[in-house]
Amino acid sequence: MDLARLVYETTASYPSEEKFGLVSQLRRCAVSIPSNIAEGHGRDSFNERVHFLYISSGSSNELETQIILSRDFGFIDEVAFQELTRLNDEVSKMLSSLIYTLKHRRESEIL
């Protein structure tokens, strides 16, 4: 949630012509990450839960690209870039770890 909040705060200062472009993309990705985690948590099957975690992970990857573009286009400075990247990397690592743990726990239950 901190990542989504920071993305919203940061994109508030983007040029108005980016409102329906990069701003929209950044915000949708940032909100998609926790939303898909929540949706997967509410699913009945293990496979669905993991599927939604993979969707969250994909949104994190998209967000990484959009953060880089934001810096390259000059919409954010290096400080904002570093903070957004740090938080997104943290989220990405947590998702990868959760997916790995769930899949390996499931495999050990099957054996």
Q: Where are the domains of the chain?
A: 2-110
Q: Name 22's Cβ contacts closer than 8 Å, sequence gap at least 6.
A: 11, 14, 66, 69, 70, 73, 75
Question: What string of DSSP letters covers 59-71?
Answer: HHHHHHHHHHHHH
* Six token digits for residue 40: 């997967």
- Give the global pTM: 0.90
Q: Encode pLDDT of 36-80 as tens digits.
A: 999 999 998 899 999 999 999 999 999 999 999 999 999 999 999
Confidence tier at 29 by pLDDT (50, 70, 90): very high
| Mean pLDDT across the chain | 94
Q: How far apart are CA 100 and CA 92, in angstroms?
A: 12
Query: Which residue type sits at 5?
Result: R
User: What tokens were used for 45?
Assistant: 């099957």
Whether domain 2-110 has CATH 1.20.1440.60: the reply is yes
Write down the pLDDT at residue 107.
Answer: 66
